Amino acid sequence: MSIAQSLLNIVLEEGRKHRLKKVKKINLHVGALSAVVPDSLKFCFDLLAQSTIACGASLEIEMVPIIARCSECKEPFEVEDHVYLCPHCGQPSLELISGRELSLTSIEGETGDTDDADEDSSSAKYPAG
């Protein structure tokens, strides 16, 4: 729940900065070691986002695999089944390149701006941060 609350706070702040009237889509990168359960995060976010500009927003989560670099041969490899042995030389590796991240990559929404050519709300995509 606290991760969902932090995510919502960031989305609302970015929404204010970019004058969004409605948040439509939120894109996240979530590492396999981050201990985030995507369905739980979506559920909690949906509950917290009610009555905000993010109500009904689609939370798109891309899972990031665990990637390690071999301490011996320096080759990167994807860790499968939590086996941290280099498939190239067989040496154990504890140097992680990815898999722990939790990143808000972009927010898409409507600004509500109109111009003479189009009377519908404009759609905008902003990288987070």
Q: Where are the domains of the chain?
A: 2-64+98-110
CB atoms < 10 A from the CB of 92, how many? 12
What is d(CA 55, CA 62) in angstroms, rounded to the nearest whole number?
21
Tens of pLDDT, residue by residue over 39-63, are 999 999 999 999 999 999 999 999 9
pTM above 0.75, yes or no: yes
Architecture of domain 2-64+98-110: 2-Layer Sandwich (3.30)
* Percent of the chain topping pLDDT 90: 76
**Would you say 127 and 119 are in contact if contact means Cβ atoms under 8 Å apart?**
no
> Quick one: which of 27, 25, 29, 28 has its CA closest to 58?
25
Tens of pLDDT, residue by residue over 107-127, are 999 987 664 333 333 445 556
What is d(CA 28, CA 124) in angstroms, rounded to the nearest whole number?
17
